[in-house]
């Protein structure tokens, strides 16, 4: 088998006329027994499986794994620049890295390392095999050229349909504790300890869920900015992200898309139009959105060319699954000496999933939420050898880990928030995923938890 140490790079081929790329991609990911990530951006799917080169960032160390073995480096004061340097050292030409950054990375980046916990904060793989779909054609790449025929045959096969009817889940469970947290956060804001905080709640899913079938059904029923399906070690997730944390292209152009301000979509055109107009006129929602856009501009100033920060599409309304949001886009150009990982460090975590000021908001989140967030409100991302990076905000996602399945949703708390309305907003957002949960049947192949990586056996979301 061709390995990383051979330094010969990927062998590639193309395949066309593959039918519905969503169904093909979901089927490929669902059948994979290797660590993998499926990532969709603007109707283009990219799938990477196997780990030829792997990076795990912990609060105290970075682990690098390839076919030479494993080595450990101490985590320094600029961990994402260490990640950038390690990726640049990957010997595979034209590599693309896939992975995630957990919310707890925010504690490390914002001067609260004692709150980060012992688990990995970021996990990336450069895959052994890869498929990219665009304009009806797929490009297949593999380090082992012998793997290409089997991969092409798999792509040409008939995708398995989603099995069974969706699960009926009650999104309104466990609301009292959340309302109390919202009320306490409002008091903190009135005491001027912070301006805004996003508090979230967990809804357990009582049955085993088929993630690939859920992703297929959910993607057809959602209108996300990005979507993803991943299985990396212990973490497994399928998500329909409403916004990006950051996008950086190969020419250094940066973009971020804060969404803040929410109303439910009912399916009734007249009612949805009324809520659209109500959203645009609600002082609380406008304030919440405006301070988020202002924060994104200030964060981009820190690594951008002078005068390049712009706000586009200010306060448009975007439909995302079961809800509609106020949406703006903030753009800039990287300053000389800055790269995509500087942009991610400045914008992470998304202000729309944390709050303002970020350090105070992250502290409040740790205080009011009973368990670490992990993937929730972090990012699923791809990074390329040409310097580009695309990071989707992990919301509207179903999570699996350690034999458990759950959903999670939050709402932005400001001075004029009320516990009942913020709880209602979490229910509205949860319906983007709760309506599409496909139970796993006994005939489904494989473990509901997928392949376990013994190197990550100490992972586990524990109560604080």
Q: Which of 446, 225, 187, 394 is nearest to 325 (CA)?
A: 225
Say whether 130 is catalytic: no
In this structure, the chain runs to a length of: 464
Q: Which of 40, 119, 171, 243 is catalytic?
A: 243
Give yes or no for a contact between 75 and 59, defined as CB atoms under 8 angstroms apart: yes
**Positive or negative: CA dihedral 62, 100, 249, 342:** negative
Distance CA 300, CA 280 (A): 26
Buried b (16+ CB within 10 A) or exposed e, 371-383: ebbbbbbbbbbbb
Distance CA 83, CA 85 (A): 5
Cis peptide before 453 (omega within 30 of 0): no
Neighbours of 266 (CB within 10 A): 12
Radius of gyration of the chain, Cα coordinates, nearest whole angstrom: 21
Q: Tell me the two tokens of residue 344.
A: 């991610």
What DSSP letter does each residue of 129-157 carry, written as one string?
A: EEEEEETTEEEEEESSTTHHHHHHHHHHS
Q: Tell me the two tokens of residue 419.
A: 């516990």
Give yes or no for a contact between 87 and 55, defined as CB atoms under 8 angstroms apart: yes
Distance CA 287, CA 189 (A): 14
Give yes or no for a contact between 210 and 449, defined as CB atoms under 8 angstroms apart: no
Residue 298 parent element (H or E): helix 283-301
Residue 290 parent element (H or E): helix 283-301
Which one-letter DSSP state was computed for residue 103? T
The catalytic site residues sit at 243
């Amino acid at each position: 088998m061709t390995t990383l140490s051979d330094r010969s790079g990927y062998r590639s081929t193309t395949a066309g006329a593959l039918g519905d790329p969503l169904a093909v991609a979901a089927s490929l990911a669902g059948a994979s027994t290797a660590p993998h990530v499926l990532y969709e951006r603007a109707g283009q799917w990219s799938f990477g499986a196997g780990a030829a080169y792997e990076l795990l960032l912990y609060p105290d160390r970075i682990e690098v794994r390839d076919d030479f073995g494993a080595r450990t480096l101490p985590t320094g004061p600029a961990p994402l620049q260490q990640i950038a340097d390690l990726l640049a050292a990957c010997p595979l030409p034209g590599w693309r890295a896939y992975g995630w950054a957990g919310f707890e990375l925010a504690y490390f980046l914002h001067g609260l390392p004692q709150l980060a916990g012992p688990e990995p904060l970021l996990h990336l793989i450069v895959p052994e095999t890869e498929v990219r779909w665009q304009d009806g054609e797929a490009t297949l790449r593999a380090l082992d050229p012998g793997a290409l025929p089997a991969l092409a045959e798999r792509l040409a096969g008939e995708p398995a349909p989603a099995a069974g009817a969706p699960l009926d889940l009650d999104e309104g469970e466990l609301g009292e504790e959340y309302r109390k947290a919202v009320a306490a956060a409002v008091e903190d804001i009135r005491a001027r300890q912070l301006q805004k905080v996003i508090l979230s709640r967990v809804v357990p899913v009582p049955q085993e869920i088929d993630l690939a079938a859920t992703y297929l059904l959910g993607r057809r029923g959602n209108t996300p900015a990005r979507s993803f399906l991943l299985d990396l070690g212990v973490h497994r997730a399928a998500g329909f992200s409403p916004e990006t944390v950051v996008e950086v292209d190969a020419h250094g152009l940066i973009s971020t898309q804060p969404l803040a301000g929410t109303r439910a979509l009912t399916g009734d055109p007249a009612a949805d139009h009324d809520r659209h107009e109500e959203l645009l006129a609600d002082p609380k929602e406008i304030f919440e959105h405006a301070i988020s856009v202002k924060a994104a501009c200030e964060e981009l100033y820190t690594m951008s060319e002078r005068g390049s920060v712009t706000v586009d599409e200010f306060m448009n309304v975007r439909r995302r699954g079961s809800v509609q949001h106020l949406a703006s886009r903030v753009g800039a150009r990287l300053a000389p000496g800055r790269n995509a990982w500087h942009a991610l460090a400045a914008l992470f975590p998304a202000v729309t999933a944390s709050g303002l000021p970020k350090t105070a908001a992250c502290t409040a989140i740790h205080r009011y939420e009973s368990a670490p967030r992990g993937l929730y409100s972090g990012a699923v991302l791809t990074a390329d050898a040409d310097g580009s990076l695309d990071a989707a905000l992990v919301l509207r996602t179903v999570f699996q880990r350690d034999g458990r399945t759950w959903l999670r949703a939050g709402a932005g708390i400001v001075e004029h928030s009320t516990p009942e309305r913020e709880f209602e907003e979490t229910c509205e957002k949860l319906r983007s995923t709760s309506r599409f949960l496909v139970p796993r049947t006994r005939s489904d192949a494989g473990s509901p938890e997928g392949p376990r990586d013994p190197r990550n056996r100490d992972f586990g979301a524990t109560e604080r």
